[in-house]
Structure 1
Amino acid sequence: MQPRKTELARDALQAHRAPLDMRQRRLLILCDGQRDLAQLTAMIGPEASAMVIQLIQSGYLVSTAPPEPAPAPAAAPPATATTAGGGAPVTERRRSLVSARIYLLGILELQRHPQAAALLYTLQQARSDDQVVSALHASLEALPGLTSAGYCERVRQRLFEVLPETHLAQLEQAGVVAG
């Protein structure tokens, strides 16, 4: 199976207003009709097949063959946590400073503003974790002046979804994280 985007998906990716989380958006971008499910699983992770099925059912992807589950990796199963009510287990999302950095680099590239270009360069040149966190902080502080408040808040929320807890605490101390 080689899933590809529908017009609904193209509109959702362009408008940034669809009810998609960052991982779903990333998967939509990668679904170009050239990659099969095994390649997508290698890029996204073991939950890619379930996400593809969900996006097909939502009308964001189409495929010529029915979705097949990807083979389970031989490595350890993903970490799980139970819901507060003792319900079904929920898969934890992986957090990564690299993912946060790449996401914000992409956002800054889209801004077409000299200040965004300077922030992009600073974030690209950051080598240590502290430099990266500092560049993330500077970018988040400048973003409200470069784009709409709603877009800025969505970027902030998605960034905080992937940022490791320790680095999120650093931004919280700097006053970037609200509440």
Structure 2
Amino acid sequence: MQPRKTDLARTALQAHRAPLDMRQRRLLILCDGQRTIADLTGLLGQEAPAMVIQLVQAGYLSTGKVTAAPAPSPTTGAEPTAVPAAPEPVAAPATPVERRRSLVAARIYVLGILEMQRHPQAAALFRDLQQARAEEEVLQRLQSALQLLPGLTSEGYCQRVRQRLLEALPLEHCDAFAEVA
């Protein structure tokens, strides 16, 4: 299944007034009709399938899984083309393991994590990280965020954030973050 945005979703993304949280907005942005549920789960985590179901029920996403298949059925050449297209997305999740690493991606990820925390220290660190321009300053703020999170959230959540941050950071910076617990 490859969910795609409906007109309601496009309007909600443009208006910024829809009753959607940040994770739902990210999911809507990523649902382009090309990504499968497995792809979305790899990008957003294990809660992605449940969020897709919620957004389909709310009318923000459409699945279009059965309607598109019967139309090319009379043409025998279209069926074999559709069948190999399904295994390709299944093979694709093996490649996202080696995602493109960048300091910008790591920064955006941590900004999102800090934004979800309802704590004044997290809000202050969010502003500091947002305003940081020099590479060393950004790295320092990222380390501060990793040190702040255990006081605000559970240990398991902190470990997942740390692991995902290490996946996004350029390799030359990972050693400095491996020491931060």
- Please report the TM-score for the alignment, with normalisation by the length of structure 1: 0.56
Once the two structures are TM-superposed, the CA of residue 138 in structure 1 deviates from its matched residue by: 0.5
The runs of at least 4 consecutive aligned structure 1 residues that moved more than 4 Å come to 66-69, 88-91
Once the two structures are TM-superposed, the CA of residue 30 in structure 1 deviates from its matched residue by: 2.5
Q: What is aligned with 1:75?
A: none
Equivalent residues of 1:2, 1:63 under 8 A apart: yes
**Aligned with 1:54 (options 38, 43, 50):** 38
**Aligned with 2:170 (options 153, 161, 164):** 164
Q: Between Structure 1 and Structure 2, whose CA radius of gyration is higher? A: 2
Q: What is aligned with 2:3?
A: 3
Counterpart-to-counterpart distance in 2, 1:171 and 1:109: 21
CA shift digits 1:140-169 (9 cap, x unpaired): 011100111111111111111111111112
Equivalent residues of 2:2, 2:37 under 8 A apart: no
Q: Aligned residues, how many?
A: 124
Counterpart-to-counterpart distance in 1, 2:109 and 2:174: 15
- Structure with more of its chain in helix, by fraction: 2
Q: What is aligned with 2:77?
A: none
For the aligned residues, what is the CA RMSD?
Answer: 3.7
Equivalent residues of 1:2, 1:31 under 8 A apart: no
Counterpart-to-counterpart distance in 2, 1:90 and 1:99: 14
CA shift digits 1:115-136 (9 cap, x unpaired): 0011101110110111110000
Counterpart-to-counterpart distance in 1, 2:177 and 2:97: 25
Quick one: structure 1 residues 27 and 121, their matched pair in 2 at CA, closer, same or farther if it must change by over 3 Å? Answer: closer
Mapping for residues 73-92 of structure 1, pairs under 5 Å: 92=98
Once the two structures are TM-superposed, the CA of residue 90 in structure 1 deviates from its matched residue by: 8.4
Counterpart-to-counterpart distance in 1, 2:148 and 2:160: 15
Counterpart-to-counterpart distance in 1, 2:102 and 2:126: 19
Sequence identity percentage: 52
Q: What is aligned with 2:101?
A: 95
Contiguous gaps of at least 5 residues in structure 2: 6-20, 41-45, 53-61, 70-81, 86-93
Once the two structures are TM-superposed, the CA of residue 2 in structure 1 deviates from its matched residue by: 6.7
Once the two structures are TM-superposed, the CA of residue 96 in structure 1 deviates from its matched residue by: 1.1
Letter in 1 for 2:119: H
